[in-house]
Structure 1
Amino acid sequence: MQRLVRALVLILILGLAGLWGVAWFGRQEGEPIGDAFLRQVASLTGGEAPVPVSAGGMQLPQGLTLGGAWSAVDQDGRPVTQANFDDTLMVAYFGYSFCPDVCPTELGSIAAAMDKLSEAEQARVTPAFFTVDPERDDPAQMKLYVTNFHPRMVGLTGSVTQVAETARRFRVFYSKVNRPEMSEYLMDHSSFIYLIGRDGKVRTLLRPQSSPEAIAEAVRGQLARR
């Protein structure tokens, strides 16, 4: 029995060593060896390689699916669904236009990342801002807000039910916060950036406060796989 275990361990070690070797010689220019190794493992298992950690990407836990079909109203008052954006990679953020600090900072980073892409790359990307505050963020407010960031940015709102359903699909946390010293309420919400593929499913998450360089790198990584 011990000989069998040792043989299996030896085979595993040799197999991993072989993959590292393939990854070393087959890595792309500037690609970290660890990312190349994960790409080789993904190709053998039939899975998709995660966005490189160096790009700020967070690999979703195995079996976890975020996103899917959703419906909303865009900043021009038109009903839209996930299918309207299937020809582009969506870089999405969930927040609200009355947000005092976090939302404009994150949207500014997304806009700066867009400017780092070539015109051809930008044409394949839709930066999107989903509101979690439909009571105040009607289409007119969303249009006024998103035009401050990038000409390609889309503002998405809808009914309270639509917003809640979309947030549920993407597992976005949000909650209204009323403070006695303030005349207007705030919205407490999660702050990830979502890279969404053709089927409306999340390809990867980007951490809050990701730099424009990291966002642009992650976007290019996903565009290369489309």
Structure 2
Amino acid sequence: MNRINKPLPRITMMLAAAALTLAGCNAAAPAAEPPLAGADIGGDFALTNSAGETVRWDDFAGQYRVVYFGYAFCPDICPTDMQRVAQGLKVLKASDPDTAAKITPIFITIDPERDTRQVVGEFAAAFSPDIIGLTGTPEQIAAAAKTFRVFYAKGEAVEGGGYLVDHSNIVYLFGPDGEPLATLPVDQGADAVAAELARWVS
């Protein structure tokens, strides 16, 4: 006996369509792209750490990197930013030590005339022993700042001697291949920094 294919009842087709719709809703959403993905920020440099050793960007290959340009004699902005970076890493370490261990924080001076390797080492260590302080010749610092799209310029003299340095205060997060991922919201406090790190470090 030949079986004749009959059209599906309307209710059956409606249920099938609904099932497909629900399946689409339950599908995993694609991962968000990092806000700095593809940006031309960062690259090789040759600078000096507190021990007098030459440090290059590729020395941190495989590690996520938090990078901040500032100076040790900065009266307020740099210490505040570095404190929040250190606190954010501490918060992340308490909740997810494995993720925190993948991150290397780096402080690069934009005032090499005063920030010797000893000075940058002491400045970085004042916030966390994990932060690497780097300095260099004026030419090396200028080259690194250009590569990382950082502005700085010698500012006005201050009472009692010395001077200020005008500079951009952006905290960058880079991936394990040195690719730019995001900026860290240090203006929002340690918890916000920790949350942003947790979002992009895997």
Shorter chain as normaliser: what TM range?
Answer: 0.7 to 0.9
Aligned counterparts of 1:124 and 1:148: Cα–Cα separation in 2: 21
- 1:190/1:208 CA distance change after superposition, 3 Å: farther
Cα distance between partner residues in 2 of 1:122 and 1:208: 17
User: Out of 67, 70, 82, which is 1:95 matched to?
Assistant: 70
Q: Distance in 1 between matches of 2:70 and 2:197?
A: 20
Q: Which runs of 5+ in 1 are unaligned?
A: 1-17, 28-35, 43-48, 51-58
2:79 is the alignment partner of 1:104 = yes
- For residues 70-219 of structure 1, the aligned pairs below 5 Å read 70-117=45-92, 118-179=96-157, 181-207=159-185, 209-219=187-197
Give 1 or 2 for the bigger CA radius of gyration: 2
Percent of residue pairs bearing the same amino acid type: 35
Distance 1:74 1:139 in 2: 6
Does the aligned pair in 2 maintain the 1:191–1:208 contact within 8 Å?
no
Deviations 1:22-73 (A, max 9, x none): 5x6346xxxxxxxx56x3xx6xxxxxx12xxxxxxxx23x763111122211
Matched pairs, number:
178
Q: Secondary structure at the match of 1:90?
A: strand
The alignment's TM-score, normalised by the length of structure 2, stands at 0.80
**How big is the shift at 1:178?**
2.4
**In the TM superposition, what is the alpha-carbon distance from 1:131 to its structure 2 partner?**
0.6
How far apart are residue 87 of structure 1 and its match? 2.3
Deviant stretches of 4+, over 4 Å: none
Is there any run of 5+ residues in structure 2 with no aligned partner, and where?
Answer: 1-19
Q: Is the 8 A contact 1:69 1:199 kept in 2?
A: no
Asked whether the 8 Å contact 1:68–1:199 carries over to 2, the reply is no
